[in-house]
Amino acid sequence: MNSLNNTWRWQGRVDAVEGELGTRWHQRMQRPQVDNLSQSIALVGFNCDAGVARNHGRVGAAQGADALRAMLGGMPVHEAKQLVDVGNVSCEGDAMEAAQAQLSAVVAELLQRRAFPIVMGGGHEIAYGTFGGLAQHLSTLEQPRIGIVNLDAHFDLRLNENAQGSSGTPFRQIADDCAARGWDFNYCCLGVSRFANTAALFKRADELGVTWRLDDDMGVVQLNDTLNVLHDFLANVDHVYFTIDLDVLPAAVMPAVSAPAACGVALSVVEAVLEAVVASGKLRVADLAEFNPIYDVDQHGARTAARLVARLANAVARLM
Ligand SMILES: N=CN[C@@H](CCC(=O)O)C(=O)O
Ligand SMILES: [Mn+2]
Ligand SMILES: [Mn+2]
Contacting residues for 273 by C-beta, under 8 A, at least 6 apart: 149, 151, 190, 226, 227, 230
What's the whole-model pTM score? 0.98
DSSP bridge pairs for 286: 118, 242
Q: How high is the pLDDT of residue 85?
A: 97
Work out the angle between the directed axes of helices 267-279 and 223-235 (0-180°, nearest 10). Answer: 30
212-229 average pLDDT score: 98
Using the atom order of ligand 1, give the atom closest to the CA of residue 58: 9
Q: Is 264 in the pocket of ligand 1 (CB under 6 A)?
A: no
Q: Is the pLDDT of residue 80 over 90?
A: no
pLDDT-based confidence at residue 34 (cuts at 50, 70, 90): confident
Nearest one of 124, 119, 123, 131 to 89, comparing CA atoms: 119
Q: How high is the pLDDT of residue 48?
A: 98
ipTM reported for the complex, 2 dp: 0.97
Cis peptide bond N-terminal to 182, omega within 30:
no
Q: Is the pLDDT of residue 7 over 90?
A: no
Q: Is 168 in the pocket of ligand 1 (CB under 6 A)?
A: yes
Q: How high is the pLDDT of residue 185?
A: 98
pLDDT-based confidence at residue 3 (cuts at 50, 70, 90): confident
Report the side by side order of strands in the sheet with 283-289.
29-30, 83-90, 41-47, 116-121, 283-289, 239-245, 146-151, 186-192, 211-214
C-alpha to C-alpha distance for 54 and 44, rounded to whole angstroms: 23
66 and 9 Cβ atoms separated by less than 8 Å: yes
Q: Is the pLDDT of residue 130 over 80?
A: yes
C-alpha to C-alpha distance for 86 and 89, rounded to whole angstroms: 9
Q: Is 73 in the pocket of ligand 1 (CB under 6 A)?
A: no
C-alpha to C-alpha distance for 70 and 75, rounded to whole angstroms: 10
The proportion of the chain whose per-residue pLDDT surpasses 90, expressed as a percent, equals 96
311 and 151 Cβ atoms separated by less than 8 Å: no
249-269 average pLDDT score: 98
* C-alpha of residue 168 to centroid of ligand 1, in Å: 6
Q: How high is the pLDDT of residue 2?
A: 72
pLDDT-based confidence at residue 286 (cuts at 50, 70, 90): very high
Using the atom order of ligand 1, give the atom closest to the CA of residue 289: 1
Q: Is 243 in the pocket of ligand 1 (CB under 6 A)?
A: no
The closest ligand to the CA of 168 turns out to be 1
Q: What is the mean pLDDT of the chain?
A: 97
Q: pLDDT by residue (tens digit) across 200-209?
A: 999 999 999 9
* C-alpha of residue 182 to centroid of ligand 1, in Å: 29
Q: How high is the pLDDT of residue 129?
A: 98
Q: How high is the pLDDT of residue 96?
A: 98
R_g of the chain computed on alpha carbons: 18
C-alpha to C-alpha distance for 41 and 143, rounded to whole angstroms: 27
Nearest one of 144, 248, 235 to 189, comparing CA atoms: 248
Question: What is 16-319's CATH superfamily?
Answer: Ureohydrolase domain (3.40.800.10)
The closest ligand to the CA of 150 turns out to be 3
* C-alpha of residue 156 to centroid of ligand 1, in Å: 7
* C-alpha of residue 109 to centroid of ligand 2, in Å: 28
Q: Is 167 in the pocket of ligand 1 (CB under 6 A)?
A: yes
Ion ligand 2, residues whose Cβ is below 5 A away: 152-154, 245, 247
Enumerate the known binding-site residues for Mn(2+): 124, 152, 154, 156, 245, 247
Tell me which amino acid residue 18 is: E
Q: How high is the pLDDT of residue 16?
A: 95
The preferred substitution site among 55, 96, 173 for testing ligand 1, maximizing ligand atoms within 8 Å of CB, is: 55
C-alpha to C-alpha distance for 156 and 121, rounded to whole angstroms: 15
C-alpha to C-alpha distance for 174 and 105, rounded to whole angstroms: 16
Find the range with the poorest average confidence among 17-26, 45-54, 74-83, 102-111.
Answer: 74-83
Q: How high is the pLDDT of residue 4?
A: 82
- Residue spans of the domains in the chain: they are 16-319
The preferred substitution site among 201, 244, 258 for testing ligand 1, maximizing ligand atoms within 8 Å of CB, is: 258
Please give the span between the terminal C-alpha atoms of the chain, in angstroms, as a whole number. Answer: 21
117-121 average pLDDT score: 98
